[in-house]
A = this chain, B = another copy of it.
Amino acid sequence: MQREQIDQVRRFNRTVTARVGVLHDSYLGRDRSIGAARLLWEVDAHEGSDVRRLRDRLGLDSGYVSRLLRSLEADGLVTVERQERDGRVRTVRLTGAGREELATLDGRSDELACSLLEPLNEVQKARLVRSMAEVDRLLTAATVTVDAVDPDHPDARHCMGAYFAELHERLSSGYDPDLSLLPDAAGLRPPRGLLLLARLHGEPVGCGGLKLPEGAPAEIKRMWVAPGARRLGLGRRFLAELETRARGLGRTVLRLDSNGRLEAALALYRSCGYREVPAFNDEPYADHWFEKHLDDGPAA
């Protein structure tokens, strides 16, 4: 990585933690501890979430979270009840008062935002906001992790389910997985294949599979990115990672089939060096087929 880039990031970190970080805490924590505020935020973001999930998402100690919840409960901001299905698990829900409290916290966030923008003129404001959006987007992208998982993992199932649902919605013909040539779970498990899963803050936000048939080119399958995680370059990252792994396994050719309705996907494949080829399978839902020779060019 270049020295100049690192230095700029450091300068950014210093400026931002000094200016935003400090204010952030002082604004939010005005009469509620910032731990409690964060927890409240998290409860709101995931209605009816269980304590364990909150703990994981915030990375906090179980005892600490428990104590915070007691204090929020005492203030009437949340209710905590045992789950029907599993009596050990407890579910947290915002009350009306909790929602109000959040609204005032949001108001303070607004004040902070205004105090940052206020001294600037209109041109500067617009520029700052635009750059913040870019930083936000790219830092989020950098937070996404991509790992190989077992196709039967609940997170993987979740993504594939969402993938099928989306296909069903977007293809003119609808979509029925049973009619498709998709590999089953075993077909995406080593050594017959692999499945990459992207996670953002622990939530699954995309998947990309690779089929490794013997005596035939490797095939990319089930590339999907959750709507909320698009425009983060995740598709490109999946392709790059799949290509690297395929190359590592001695493969030199990658294939995939897709559908003309999935415009963004087609554009992605083309811009990553995939060339359209005649149909190489009978996938009923495909009307475009692509191929890439891994030594053809960079995956970037």
Q: Could you tell me which A residues sit within 8 Å of B by CB distance?
A: 1, 5-13, 15-17, 19-21, 24, 106, 109-110, 112-114, 116-129, 131-136, 138-145, 233, 236-237, 240, 300
20 inter-chain pairs at a CB distance below 8 angstroms, sorted by A residue, are A1-B117, A1-B118, A5-B117, A6-B117, A8-B129, A8-B133, A10-B106, A10-B113, A12-B133, A12-B136, A13-B20, A13-B24, A15-B139, A15-B140, A16-B135, A116-B142, A122-B300, A124-B233, A128-B139, A131-B135
CB < 8 Å: which of B16, B110, B136, B300 contacts A11?
B136
Q: Is the interface of A mostly helix, strand, loop or mixed?
A: helix
Minimum distance in angstroms from A61 CB to a CB of chain B: 15
- C-alpha spacing A123/B142, complex, angstroms: 13
- C-alpha spacing A170/B11, complex, angstroms: 30
Residues of B within 8 A of A121 (CB): 233, 236-237, 240, 300
Minimum distance in angstroms from A266 CB to a CB of chain B: 20
- C-alpha spacing A17/B26, complex, angstroms: 13
Given contacts A13-B20, A116-B142, 8 further A-B contacts (CB under 8 A): A7-B113, A8-B136, A10-B113, A12-B20, A13-B24, A13-B109, A16-B16, A120-B138
- C-alpha spacing A22/B71, complex, angstroms: 24
Residues of B within 8 A of A134 (CB): 127-128, 131
Question: Are A116 and B139 neighbours in the complex by a CB distance under 8 Å?
Answer: yes
Minimum distance in angstroms from A72 CB to a CB of chain B: 20
Question: Are B133 and A132 neighbours in the complex by a CB distance under 8 Å?
Answer: no
CB < 8 Å: which of B10, B20, B109, B125 contacts A16?
B20
CB < 8 Å: which of B120, B131, B132, B141 contacts A141?
B120
Residues of B within 8 A of A10 (CB): 106, 109-110, 112-113
- C-alpha spacing A30/B140, complex, angstroms: 25
